[in-house]
Structure 1
Amino acid sequence: MTPHRDFEYLSSLILKYLKNDITEKEQQILNEWLEESPNNKSLLESFRQTAKVEQDIDQLRSIDVNAQWERFNANIRNSQPKKLRLAKWWPRVAAVLLVASSVAFYVYQSQKKSTASDAVLAYDVNPGSERAILQLADGAVVNLGRYQKHSDHDQAQGFDVKEGTLYFTANHTKSGQTNHHALRTPRAGEYKVVLPDGTKVWLNASSYLSFPQNFDGNERRVQLKGEAYFEVAHQPSKPFIVSFNDTEVKVLGTHFNINTYGNTSKTTLLEGSVSISEGGHQTLLKPGQEALIEQGEIEVQKTEVYKSIAWKEGVFYFKEDNIKEILDQISRWYDVEIVYQGKPSQQAITGNIRRQATLNQVLDMLGTLTNAKFNLTDRTVTVNFNP
């Protein structure tokens, strides 16, 4: 079998082993692989001892993943907002995808490391993490991480940080004053913030969110650059407005993702409804739809919503993407520069991998899916498309 089929086959054996559903012949093959390296035994044991994985394997056995995604998207397209229950679907489907890809990927990695012809990579880049810079309305700057120590000044400004989440409470200012905070994530950073009204916002790498100390007046308005996922607190009398470029997205209470990285901005609706205004045009989105906005024009299309929010779930999820689209994400999350040699391939790539993987692990997987050669040196990835 080819190496690609080898690691897929071994992954299936591990899944069967975890559920005590492995034949004697399959067990013999698995034992041979376990004897090849102590790392293989440690890998299997780590999966076997993880209760979460065992629960996910139960789901994996009973669910056709591709059919589940189709069913998930169909429910989003056809359900009324009040009837849609995303919380019921996401953990179940995402768990199946993650456990399957994790087992397969680690088996593949262990095989590569055990091959004598593969040299040990001395240089690698770790993935991004929960970090951001908060600029308060009074000009003070706070560096944020997952484990943050607080000061009396923090409490006076009406915010707190717990396990990588920034919490704001209403901090009323004098009448007529409009003071704004700003939250920035660097390359290789992400952060979650709960705004004074209870709205939850997840900021992806290289993003910016400006919001007032308190949502006074008849609306709740924030400004975005980069990418963010919103779960807006429902307040019928006070619409929530996200402005970016020359576009406004207006909602009352809903779940949606906005991506403004490229020349074409994307707004993807998961639950509820949003109104999009751009260049004098106004469009209403329904769940399961995505608005592509470029040069004053709005194009609405059906979409696979998980692709837009997979980053928030800790996954790179590619479906028929080209290599440049994928490496744009890699560049931001690992804070590296991408240099191309030769003409980039237009091959459509489909796959997924955890955002917690190191850069070399991601590049190894991309190498199995494409004909490109990757070289990592001093935070620069050279991609060679020459034959």
Structure 2
Amino acid sequence: MIFEEDVDSFLLRYLLNELDPEDRKKVEEWIVANEENRQYYQAYQKTHLELRWMERSKKIEGNFIQFDRLRRKQHFRRVFYRSVACAIILLSVGGAFRYWDEKPEMRLVQEGIQPGKSQAILYMASGQVVSVDKDAQELKEADGTCINVDSVAGMTYNVTAGENSSEVLYNRVVVPKGGEFKLTLSDGTKVWLNSFSELRYPVNFTGKKREVILQGEAYFDVIGDPEHPFVVKVNDLDIRVLGTQFNVNAYTEGIVKTVLVEGLVNLRGKMGEINLHPRQMGEYREADGSLQMMDVDILPHVAWKDGNFIFRSESLEDIMDKLSIWYNLDVFYANDELRSIRLSGNLFRYGDVNQLFTLFEKISDARFQVEGKSVVISCK
């Protein structure tokens, strides 16, 4: 890529939303080009978001302007983020910033509203119901499939060669509000389930296609198999893939949004079908069976998987919907006009949401009153 020699500068400008559309596309292509690039970007992004969060919380002080190497004078805020580029590089490369290797639970705020954590309930074909938010354990299904369960590492299905069952067995994983969970299916496909979501799937895939049923939101990294396409069913929408990465969001009743990161995806609804290419979103509306396709910035749609929220000119209502599911909040509006306020910003997914409310109060006409798990939003 043309920016390989200055990749950190491009990534920083990308996160600050300062690149033109052509350069943004090149950066996104570089990110998904291979796993090494993806991991480098994720580490870089996490450190960047943490520094932004710390700066907003006034935990970082001092004169950073002396490190500035820009040729033109800019606002202090821009100077600050550019000047810490060196710090981001040092912290994100080679695991130097060991803080990010800690378990998410070690980074949770200790007071106020608590963010979500890795937790889920597994409903087995045998009728056994297992809570997977505590110690690691090993389970076994009726067909002999071994299920390794861990609240942090997730859940993995290991099918031993020669194991067969005349009956297709299904498992179901339910993630409550304030939860998230990762699982690896028997074919090696990885699934990240967001809060308030559910996935039903075969213990061992058989037949001509690999089919799962989703409610809520999930990110899929599908193992390619041309002879056995992977299908995600969301009500009457079929999302068919061979091997790719994509996000499916069905939180809004009657609307399914599929964002493609890499590969090719076919969406088939009641009234037709469309193919998605990388950096495109397909929106399906069940009421009339319509399918629409548009180019999008994929990061705001998939950042949750890597422990971040990215809001870019989103309505306050959409932002609070996402926060309420993750922080398990009840949100009330004193004035419906507040719902349409548009805000932008990044949030470390395990951070204290009260600090975000404070920021929103500074940059908008909204006031946030928190009482226990309830948030009342009113006009100033």
TM-score (ref. length: structure 2): 0.76
Which of these residues, 126, 130, 138, is aligned with residue 118 of structure 2? 130
Confirm or deny: 8 A CA contact 2:123 2:130 kept in the other structure. yes
Pair 1:307 & 2:285 matched: no
| Equivalent residues in 2 for 1:184-223, closer than 5 Å | 184-223=174-213
Where is the helix percentage greater, Structure 1 or Structure 2? 1
State the distance in 2 between where 1:236 and 1:307 align: 30
Structure with the greater alpha carbon radius of gyration = 1
Residue identity in the other structure for 1:369: I
SS of the aligned residue for 2:278 comes to coil
The aligned residue for residue 351 of structure 2 is: 357
Q: How does 1:166-185 map to 2 (within 5 A)?
A: 166-170=155-159, 172-175=163-166, 177-185=167-175
Q: Map 1:16-165 onto structure 2 (within 5 A).
A: 59=8, 63-65=12-14, 66=17, 70=21, 74-75=25-26, 85-110=33-58, 124-145=112-133, 147-151=134-138, 153=140, 157-162=145-150, 163-165=152-154
Q: Displacement, 1:342?
A: 1.4
CA separation in 1, counterparts of 2:263 and 2:360? 36
Give the aligned residue type for 2:156. Y
* 1:233 partnered with 2:223: yes
The residue aligned with 2:366 is 372
Superposed displacement of residue 169, structure 1: 1.7
- 1:67–1:109: structure 2 CA closer, same or farther, 3 Å change rule? closer
Partner Cα separation in structure 1 for residue 20 and residue 215 of structure 2 = 29
Q: 1:324 to 1:333 in 2, by over 3 A?
A: same
Structure 2: distance between partners of 1:174 and 1:138: 13
Match of 1:298 in 2: 291
Spell out, residue by residue over 1:178-236, the C-alpha distance to the aligned partner (whole angstroms, 9 max, x if none): 22000010000000000000000000000000000110111100000000000001111
* Stretches of structure 2 lacking an aligned partner (at least 5 in a row): 1-6, 61-109
Displacement after TM superposition at 1:360 (Å): 1.5
How many residues align? The count is 317
Q: Write the distance in 2 (CA, Å) between the matches of 1:299 and 1:61.
A: 31
Q: In the superposition, relative to structure 1, how do residues 365 and 339 fare at CA in structure 2: closer, same or farther (>3 Å)?
A: same
The percent identity for this pair of structures is: 27
Are 2:300 and 2:312, in contact at CA under 8 Å, matched by a contact in 1?
yes
Partner residue of 2:278? 287
Structure 1 gap ranges (5+): 1-57, 113-121
How far apart are the structure 2 equivalents of 1:237 and 1:203? Answer: 26
Kept after mapping to 2: 8 A contact 1:160/1:167: yes
Residues 198 and 73 of structure 1, relative CA distance in 2, 3 Å threshold = farther
Rounded Cα–Cα distance in structure 1 between residues aligned with 2:220 and 2:127: 26
Contact 2:11 2:27 in 1 (8 A): no
Write out per-residue CA displacement over residues 75-115 of structure 1, whole angstroms, 9 at most, x where no aligned residue: 49989xxx951535444444444333322322332479xxx
How has the CA–CA distance of structure 1 residues 367 and 186 changed in structure 2, closer, same or farther, with 3 Å as cutoff?
same
Note if 1:326 corresponds to 2:319.
yes
> Bigger CA drift: 98-107 or 300-309?
98-107
Q: Output the amino acid matched with 1:378.
A: G
Q: TM-score, normalised by structure 1?
A: 0.75
Contact 1:102 1:354 in 2 (8 A): yes
Structure 2: how far apart are the matches of 1:219 and 1:379? 43
Deviations 1:46-100 (A, max 9, x none): xxxxxxxxxxxx9359842335695675249989xxx951535444444444333
Conserved 8 A contact 1:59-1:92:
no
Q: 1:133 to 1:326 in 2, by over 3 A?
A: same
Q: Using the TM superposition, give the Cα deviation of residue 371 of structure 1 relative to its aligned residue in structure 2, in angstroms.
A: 1.8
Contact 2:113/2:372, CA 8 A, preserved across alignment: no
Q: Partner residue of 1:254?
A: 244
Matched, 1:271 2:265: no
Is the 8 Å Cα contact of residues 323 and 344 (structure 1) preserved in structure 2? no
- Equivalent-residue separation in structure 1 for 2:28 and 2:39 (angstroms): 19
Q: CA deviation at 1:368?
A: 2.9
Measure the CA separation in 2 of the matches of 1:160 and 1:68.
44
Matched residue SS, 1:344: helix
- Structure 2 vs 1, CA of residues 353 and 238 (structure 1 numbering), >3 Å: closer, same or farther? same
In 2, Cα distance between equivalents of 1:302 and 1:214: 35
Separation (CA, whole Å) in 1 of partners of 2:170 and 2:117? 25
